[in-house]
Amino acid sequence: MNFYALVLLISLAIGVALGFLVQLDAGYVRVSWLNWLLETNVWIALALLIGFYFALHYLFRTLSTTLAVRAGWRQWRKKRKYSRAQQNTIRGLLHYAEGNWKQAQKFLSGSAEQSDTPLINYLASAQAANELGNEKESDLFLKKAFDNTPGGDVAIGVTQAQLQLARGQLEQCLSTLLNLRKKTPHHPFVLKLLQQVYTRLNDWQKMSEILPELRKYKVLKDDEVEKLELETWLNLLRHACDEALRGRKGDFNSEPLNAIWDRMPANLRKNPHVIYAYASQLMRLGASGQAETLLRKALKQHWSDILIDLYGQIAGANVAEQLLAAEHWLKERPNDAGLLLALGRLCLRNERWSKAKEYFEASLKLKRRRETYYELARLLAAMDQPQASNDYFIQALQDSAKLPDLPSPKSQRRSA
């Protein structure tokens, strides 16, 4: 007997049993509710209940299926929008990398709300708009970034500072960066932007305050920090001298300049270029005696061509002692052209004309320098030797102009 025959047999048995029960006793059911009255037998009531059960079951299944379809539709649309937003974000970033600012702004801003990286979309849109010269639109994107991405204050602030710096809004940029410094005191990129702003504002005092942090947090390469440090302190020396000269009444006041020197890192106070700058500024303020003492001490410790050149130009408190100090160095450096030039100049200050001439000529034999030619030519002119003086002037001009060796009337007469 197969399965279907068995099912049929069982169904017939159940039908016969039900028919017998209905004949045996139909029963009675009476239901009353408000003004409604329902009277029937038990078997019909049972059939109605079973039918009602299946109707409710079908209804719930239909509703569930409908709601599932709608939810699926919404989910599909959401996924589609998300996918499109991601694709447009990628396209926008590619345009941004290529410098196609208009297309970059279009795709990035249009997909920002559906993107899972709205901060990146808005910030890149702000930069693209700024590149297009749309500053108001750029600021609007920054505001949207702030409103839509809590916790992105630092990233938004850094971008805003970059845009302000690019626009030349230095004061606004500085204000933005100082606010960021309160939130992230040692942020490397904030420090780098501050360095750029202070450089453009020529605020060397503030620059000197952040130099240790620039070095500590590796914001710049070591050689870049050293170069910036040198530039900073040289400018501080010059500005201090300028301020002293502007406020000068009668005697010089080198205290502000000396204060800068005292604050300077020890390694820089040994740098010949820094010593040269400090001595030069002292000379501007009339403190030549202090400058001469500084240079003499520095030259004893570390010889420098630029310092000996400046030493020969200074009139110290005692020019005779100054000449003796330089002549003492000559014993150790007899073939130093720069020292011989300085000695010639110091001899002029001591009115030792012949000795000055000897030093200048000795210097020229070692090194042909325009300054030495001019000094010797000027001295010979004052010593009533115009022809020799003119020859040295001409030689200086020829050397500086690097004229080619060409025939002249004088050379033609000699060959004849």
**Going by DSSP bridges, is the β-strand pair 29-33/36-40 parallel, antiparallel, or unpaired?**
antiparallel
Cross-strand partners of 38: 31
For 274, residues 6+ apart whose C-beta sits below 8 A from its C-beta are 230, 233, 234, 237, 264, 268
pLDDT one-digit tens code per residue, 265-277: 999 999 999 999 9
Domain 336-401 coded CATH 1.25.40.10: yes
Which tokens hold the place of 259?
């204060």
pLDDT category, 4, cuts 50, 70, 90?
low
8 A C-beta contact, residue 244 and residue 257: yes
For 76, residues 6+ apart whose C-beta sits below 8 A from its C-beta are none
User: Is the alpha carbon torsion for 393, 395, 400, 402 positive or negative?
Assistant: positive
Q: Across residues 367-396, what is the average pLDDT? A: 89
Cross-strand partners of 36: 33
Buried b (16+ CB within 10 A) or exposed e, 345-368: bbbbbeebeebbbebbebbbebee
pLDDT category, 248, cuts 50, 70, 90?
low
8 A C-beta contact, residue 194 and residue 177: yes
pLDDT one-digit tens code per residue, 303-357: 999 999 999 999 989 999 999 999 999 999 999 999 999 999 999 999 999 999 9
Cross-strand partners of 30: 39
Using alpha carbons, list the distances in angstroms from residue 405 to 62, 226, 231, 411.
108, 45, 42, 11
pLDDT of 133? 92
pLDDT of 58? 78
pLDDT of 218? 93
CA nearest neighbour of 321 among 355, 278, 292:
292
Domain borders along the chain are 21-59, 221-246+253-317, 336-401
pLDDT one-digit tens code per residue, 65-122: 666 656 655 665 656 666 787 888 888 889 888 999 999 888 888 888 888 788 888 8
pLDDT of 250? 52
pLDDT of 25? 62
DSSP state of 247: T
Helix pair angle (101-110, 42-98), 10° resolution: 160
pLDDT category, 296, cuts 50, 70, 90?
very high
Using alpha carbons, list the distances in angstroms from residue 81 to 67, 78, 106, 113.
21, 5, 16, 10
Average pLDDT of the chain, as a whole number? 86
Kind and range of the H or E run holding 39 = strand 36-40
pLDDT category, 408, cuts 50, 70, 90?
low
pLDDT of 328? 95
Distance between start and end Cα atoms, the chain: 147
DSSP state of 40: E
pLDDT one-digit tens code per residue, 187-217: 999 999 999 999 999 999 999 999 999 999 9
User: Does the pLDDT of residue 367 top 70, yes or no?
Assistant: yes
**Pure H helices in 149-221:** 153-167, 170-183, 188-201, 204-216
287 SS3 class: coil
pLDDT one-digit tens code per residue, 126-184: 999 999 999 999 999 999 988 888 888 999 999 999 999 999 999 999 999 999 999 99
pLDDT of 57? 77
pLDDT category, 35, cuts 50, 70, 90?
confident
Using alpha carbons, list the distances in angstroms from residue 23 to 28, 29, 40, 45, 249.
13, 16, 15, 16, 136
pLDDT of 196? 96
Number of Cα atoms under 13 Å in the Cβ half of residue 123: 17
8 A C-beta contact, residue 347 and residue 323: yes
Q: Across residues 287-299, what is the average pLDDT? A: 95
- More confident: 398 or 311: 311
Question: Rounded to two decimals, what is the model's pTM?
Answer: 0.73
